[in-house]
Amino acid sequence: MKKNIFGLLIISLILITTVSLSEIKLIKLANVNDKIITNIDLQREIKLIKILNNIEDTTSDSNIEKFALENIINEILKEEELNKNEIEIDKKIVNEYYNNLIYQLKNKNLNISKDIDKEIYKKILLEYKWNQLISKKFSWKININMNEINEKLKNNVDDENRIISLKNELITKEKNKKLEIYSLNYLANLRKNSLIKYFK
Protein backbone atom coordinates (compact mmCIF):
# COMPACT_ATOMS: atom_id res chain seq x y z
CA MET A 1 0.00 0.00 0.00
CA LYS A 2 2.85 2.35 0.88
CA LYS A 3 4.47 1.71 -2.52
CA ASN A 4 1.23 2.65 -4.30
CA ILE A 5 0.94 5.95 -2.36
CA PHE A 6 4.58 6.76 -3.18
CA GLY A 7 3.91 5.94 -6.86
CA LEU A 8 0.82 8.17 -6.90
CA LEU A 9 2.82 11.04 -5.34
CA ILE A 10 5.48 10.77 -8.07
CA ILE A 11 2.84 10.70 -10.83
CA SER A 12 1.15 13.77 -9.24
CA LEU A 13 4.45 15.66 -9.12
CA ILE A 14 5.18 14.82 -12.78
CA LEU A 15 1.70 16.00 -13.79
CA ILE A 16 2.05 19.27 -11.80
CA THR A 17 5.48 19.94 -13.37
CA THR A 18 4.18 19.20 -16.87
CA VAL A 19 1.17 21.49 -16.41
CA SER A 20 3.41 24.28 -15.03
CA LEU A 21 5.79 24.03 -17.97
CA SER A 22 2.98 23.93 -20.53
CA GLU A 23 1.49 27.10 -19.01
CA ILE A 24 4.63 29.08 -19.93
CA LYS A 25 3.83 30.39 -23.38
CA LEU A 26 6.70 31.72 -25.43
CA ILE A 27 5.50 34.90 -27.14
CA LYS A 28 7.55 36.66 -29.80
CA LEU A 29 7.58 40.40 -29.06
CA ALA A 30 10.08 41.76 -31.57
CA ASN A 31 12.75 40.97 -34.15
CA VAL A 32 16.06 42.84 -34.33
CA ASN A 33 17.74 41.89 -37.59
CA ASP A 34 17.96 38.10 -37.11
CA LYS A 35 17.51 38.11 -33.31
CA ILE A 36 14.18 37.31 -31.65
CA ILE A 37 12.99 38.94 -28.41
CA THR A 38 10.44 36.95 -26.39
CA ASN A 39 8.28 37.58 -23.32
CA ILE A 40 10.85 35.59 -21.28
CA ASP A 41 13.60 38.04 -22.33
CA LEU A 42 11.32 40.95 -21.41
CA GLN A 43 10.48 39.56 -17.95
CA ARG A 44 14.18 39.01 -17.20
CA GLU A 45 15.00 42.58 -18.28
CA ILE A 46 12.17 44.03 -16.17
CA LYS A 47 13.48 42.11 -13.15
CA LEU A 48 16.99 43.48 -13.77
CA ILE A 49 15.74 47.05 -14.15
CA LYS A 50 13.77 46.78 -10.89
CA ILE A 51 16.78 45.39 -9.01
CA LEU A 52 19.23 47.95 -10.39
CA ASN A 53 16.85 50.87 -9.77
CA ASN A 54 15.55 49.70 -6.39
CA ILE A 55 11.95 49.38 -7.63
CA GLU A 56 9.52 47.09 -5.76
CA ASP A 57 9.22 43.75 -7.57
CA THR A 58 5.42 43.94 -7.25
CA THR A 59 5.34 47.28 -9.12
CA SER A 60 3.61 46.96 -12.48
CA ASP A 61 4.13 49.76 -14.97
CA SER A 62 3.72 49.77 -18.75
CA ASN A 63 6.49 52.39 -18.95
CA ILE A 64 8.93 49.91 -17.39
CA GLU A 65 7.88 47.32 -19.98
CA LYS A 66 8.43 49.77 -22.86
CA PHE A 67 11.78 50.86 -21.46
CA ALA A 68 12.83 47.22 -20.93
CA LEU A 69 11.97 46.25 -24.51
CA GLU A 70 13.84 49.24 -25.96
CA ASN A 71 16.79 48.42 -23.69
CA ILE A 72 16.96 44.85 -25.04
CA ILE A 73 16.85 46.16 -28.63
CA ASN A 74 19.65 48.66 -27.92
CA GLU A 75 21.79 46.00 -26.28
CA ILE A 76 21.37 43.64 -29.25
CA LEU A 77 22.47 46.44 -31.61
CA LYS A 78 25.43 47.30 -29.38
CA GLU A 79 26.53 43.65 -29.28
CA GLU A 80 26.29 43.37 -33.07
CA GLU A 81 28.38 46.50 -33.51
CA LEU A 82 30.95 45.39 -30.94
CA ASN A 83 31.34 42.07 -32.77
CA LYS A 84 32.45 44.04 -35.84
CA ASN A 85 35.09 45.95 -33.88
CA GLU A 86 38.04 44.79 -31.83
CA ILE A 87 37.86 46.43 -28.43
CA GLU A 88 40.51 45.99 -25.77
CA ILE A 89 39.22 46.25 -22.23
CA ASP A 90 40.63 46.27 -18.74
CA LYS A 91 38.79 43.39 -17.04
CA LYS A 92 40.09 44.57 -13.65
CA ILE A 93 38.07 47.82 -13.88
CA VAL A 94 34.96 45.90 -14.99
CA ASN A 95 35.34 43.41 -12.13
CA GLU A 96 35.86 46.19 -9.57
CA TYR A 97 32.72 48.02 -10.73
CA TYR A 98 30.74 44.75 -10.74
CA ASN A 99 31.92 43.74 -7.23
CA ASN A 100 31.06 47.19 -5.82
CA LEU A 101 27.60 47.12 -7.38
CA ILE A 102 26.83 43.58 -6.14
CA TYR A 103 28.04 44.56 -2.66
CA GLN A 104 25.68 47.59 -2.65
CA LEU A 105 22.73 45.50 -3.87
CA LYS A 106 23.30 42.79 -1.27
CA ASN A 107 23.51 45.46 1.44
CA LYS A 108 19.95 46.40 0.47
CA ASN A 109 18.96 42.78 1.25
CA LEU A 110 18.08 42.11 -2.37
CA ASN A 111 17.81 38.47 -3.33
CA ILE A 112 19.99 38.05 -6.43
CA SER A 113 19.95 34.66 -8.14
CA LYS A 114 22.98 33.31 -10.03
CA ASP A 115 21.23 34.00 -13.35
CA ILE A 116 20.53 37.63 -12.44
CA ASP A 117 24.09 37.96 -11.13
CA LYS A 118 25.44 36.80 -14.53
CA GLU A 119 23.11 39.17 -16.39
CA ILE A 120 24.30 42.13 -14.28
CA TYR A 121 27.92 41.28 -15.12
CA LYS A 122 27.06 40.96 -18.83
CA LYS A 123 25.38 44.39 -18.78
CA ILE A 124 28.38 46.04 -17.12
CA LEU A 125 30.78 44.39 -19.57
CA LEU A 126 28.65 45.42 -22.56
CA GLU A 127 28.41 49.06 -21.44
CA TYR A 128 32.13 49.25 -20.72
CA LYS A 129 32.97 47.82 -24.16
CA TRP A 130 30.47 50.15 -25.81
CA ASN A 131 31.95 53.21 -24.07
CA GLN A 132 35.41 52.09 -25.19
CA LEU A 133 34.15 51.81 -28.78
CA ILE A 134 32.60 55.30 -28.69
CA SER A 135 35.77 56.73 -27.15
CA LYS A 136 37.90 55.02 -29.82
CA LYS A 137 35.72 56.36 -32.65
CA PHE A 138 35.04 59.90 -31.44
CA SER A 139 37.57 61.05 -28.81
CA TRP A 140 39.70 62.74 -31.46
CA LYS A 141 36.70 64.90 -32.45
CA ILE A 142 36.17 66.32 -28.98
CA ASN A 143 37.28 69.86 -28.28
CA ILE A 144 37.13 71.20 -24.76
CA ASN A 145 36.62 74.92 -24.34
CA MET A 146 39.32 75.73 -21.77
CA ASN A 147 38.10 79.32 -21.44
CA GLU A 148 34.79 78.04 -20.06
CA ILE A 149 36.62 75.68 -17.69
CA ASN A 150 38.89 78.47 -16.43
CA GLU A 151 35.90 80.76 -15.98
CA LYS A 152 34.24 78.17 -13.74
CA LEU A 153 37.42 77.99 -11.64
CA LYS A 154 37.94 81.75 -11.52
CA ASN A 155 36.43 82.35 -8.10
CA ASN A 156 37.90 79.22 -6.57
CA VAL A 157 40.10 80.18 -3.63
CA ASP A 158 41.39 76.68 -2.81
CA ASP A 159 45.03 75.67 -3.00
CA GLU A 160 46.71 74.96 -6.33
CA ASN A 161 46.48 71.15 -6.08
CA ARG A 162 42.74 71.39 -5.47
CA ILE A 163 42.32 73.71 -8.49
CA ILE A 164 44.23 71.24 -10.72
CA SER A 165 42.06 68.39 -9.44
CA LEU A 166 38.85 70.39 -10.06
CA LYS A 167 40.06 71.36 -13.52
CA ASN A 168 40.66 67.71 -14.42
CA GLU A 169 37.23 66.76 -13.06
CA LEU A 170 35.54 69.45 -15.17
CA ILE A 171 37.47 68.41 -18.30
CA THR A 172 36.52 64.74 -17.78
CA LYS A 173 32.88 65.68 -17.13
CA GLU A 174 32.74 67.81 -20.29
CA LYS A 175 34.41 65.09 -22.35
CA ASN A 176 31.98 62.42 -21.06
CA LYS A 177 29.02 64.69 -21.81
CA LYS A 178 30.13 65.04 -25.43
CA LEU A 179 30.90 61.32 -25.76
CA GLU A 180 27.38 60.57 -24.47
CA ILE A 181 25.94 62.67 -27.32
CA TYR A 182 28.07 60.75 -29.84
CA SER A 183 26.95 57.48 -28.23
CA LEU A 184 23.23 58.36 -28.54
CA ASN A 185 23.63 59.52 -32.14
CA TYR A 186 25.63 56.43 -33.09
CA LEU A 187 23.01 54.13 -31.55
CA ALA A 188 20.18 56.06 -33.25
CA ASN A 189 21.97 55.57 -36.56
CA LEU A 190 22.31 51.82 -35.91
CA ARG A 191 18.59 51.62 -35.18
CA LYS A 192 17.78 53.51 -38.38
CA ASN A 193 19.83 51.05 -40.44
CA SER A 194 18.53 47.91 -38.73
CA LEU A 195 15.48 45.79 -39.34
CA ILE A 196 13.37 46.13 -36.19
CA LYS A 197 9.88 44.66 -36.15
CA TYR A 198 7.44 44.69 -33.22
CA PHE A 199 4.78 42.00 -32.78
CA LYS A 200 2.95 43.45 -29.78
| In the predicted structure, residue 190 carries a pLDDT above the cut 90 | yes
Domain membership of residue 186 (yes or no) is yes
Domain membership of residue 15 (yes or no) is no
Domain membership of residue 7 (yes or no) is no
Those residues whose C-beta lies under 8 Å from the C-beta of residue 76, and which sit 6 or more positions away, are 32, 33, 35, 37
CB atoms inside a 10 Å sphere around CB 25: 8
Q: What is the pLDDT of residues 53-100, one digit of tens each?
A: 887 776 677 889 999 999 999 999 999 999 999 888 888 999 999 999
CA distances from 198 to 26, 27, 42, 51, 88 (A): 15, 12, 13, 26, 34
Domain membership of residue 14 (yes or no) is no
Instruction: Write out the residue range of the structural domain in which residue 153 sits.
Output: 28-198
Domain membership of residue 5 (yes or no) is no
Confidence of residue 162 (pLDDT cuts 50, 70, 90): confident
Domain count, the chain: 1
CATH number, position 88: 1.10.4030.10
Domain membership of residue 1 (yes or no) is no
Those residues whose C-beta lies under 8 Å from the C-beta of residue 128, and which sit 6 or more positions away, are 89, 93, 94, 97
Output 129 or 157, whichever has higher pLDDT: 129
- Please state the pTM of the whole predicted model: 0.78
Sheet holding 28-32, edge to edge: 35-38, 28-32, 196-198
Tally the C-alpha atoms within 13 A of residue 103's C-alpha that lie toward its C-beta: 6
CB atoms inside a 10 Å sphere around CB 105: 18
Residue-level pLDDT at 60? 72
Domain membership of residue 17 (yes or no) is no
Cα separation, 128 vs 136, in Å, equals 12
Domain membership of residue 19 (yes or no) is no
3-12, 61-70, 75-84, 101-110: range with lowest mean pLDDT: 3-12
